[in-house]
């Protein structure tokens, strides 16, 4: 029975993504995440099957993908490859001895040298003035627009509403 990368990864304590990266690192796969393919070495241990929903119509409605199933000998072969070539040993931050941790330089964050705080205050005042100008502009615009809305309401909306009410009353729908 074939195993997916997720099931195979469970034997190694890895996720499917991590398992595919491990298989790529040991030359069972080539490509990038989401677009892996089998190498010659990988073809000895896996089968690749092309699948498609094929419902017709536009291409975006017809997804297609490949699935790989790994045979039972894959885990043993991969463990042997890992033992023969352990790869790069990566240390976590917690694994760094305290003496070496003191050698790290930490960067402090703050305003850059020569920062002009007076100019910054002017900038803040400018933002407040701009906000005020926007609010005043909206209010003035609403006042000027009101001149045109009232006549339109009286000449177009009100008569149309009366006609609709009369029509619905004749049909027995209005109360």
Domain that holds residue 51: 5-90
Question: 36 exposed, middle or buried (CB, 10 Å; 0-12, 13-18, 19+)?
Answer: buried
Ranges of the chain with pLDDT below 50: 89-94
**Is residue 31 domain-resident?**
yes
The CA-based angle 13-17-22, given to 5 degrees, is: 70
**Is residue 57 domain-resident?**
yes
**Is residue 79 domain-resident?**
yes
Residues contacting 52, CB < 8 A, separation 6+? 62, 63, 64, 65
Residue 94: per-residue pLDDT: 47
Does pTM surpass 0.95?
Answer: no
**DSSP one-letter code for 96:** S
The domain tally of the chain equals 1
**Is residue 128 domain-resident?**
no
**Is residue 83 domain-resident?**
yes
The DSSP-derived string for 121-163 is HHHHHHHHHHHHHHHHHHHHHHHHHHHHHHHHIIIIIHHHHHH
Residue 135: per-residue pLDDT: 92
Residue 89: per-residue pLDDT: 46
| Whether 15 contacts 6, CB under 8 Å | yes
Can you tell me whether residue 32 is helix, strand or coil?
A: strand
Can you tell me whether residue 30 is helix, strand or coil?
A: strand
The CA-based angle 160-157-148, given to 5 degrees, is: 155
| Whether 65 contacts 48, CB under 8 Å | no
């Amino acid at each position: 029975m074939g195993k997916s990368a997720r099931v195979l990864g469970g034997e190694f304590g890895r996720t499917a993504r991590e398992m595919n990266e491990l298989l790529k690192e040991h030359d069972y796969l080539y490509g990038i995440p989401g677009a892996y393919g089998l190498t010659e070495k990988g073809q000895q241990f896996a089968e690749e099957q092309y699948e498609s929903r094929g419902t017709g119509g536009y291409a975006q409605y017809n997804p297609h993908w490949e699935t790989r199933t790994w045979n039972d000998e894959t885990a043993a072969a991969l463990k042997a490859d890992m033992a023969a070539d352990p790869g790069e040993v990566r240390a976590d931050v917690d694994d760094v001895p305290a003496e070496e941790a003191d050698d790290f330089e930490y960067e402090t964050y703050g305003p850059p040298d020569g920062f002009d705080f007076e100019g910054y205050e002017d900038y803040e005042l400018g933002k407040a003035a701009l906000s005020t100008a926007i609010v005043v502009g909206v209010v003035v615009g609403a006042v000027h627009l009101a001149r045109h809305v009232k006549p339109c309401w009286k000449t177009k909306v009100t008569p149309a509403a009366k006609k609709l009410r009369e029509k619905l009353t004749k049909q027995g729908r209005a109360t």
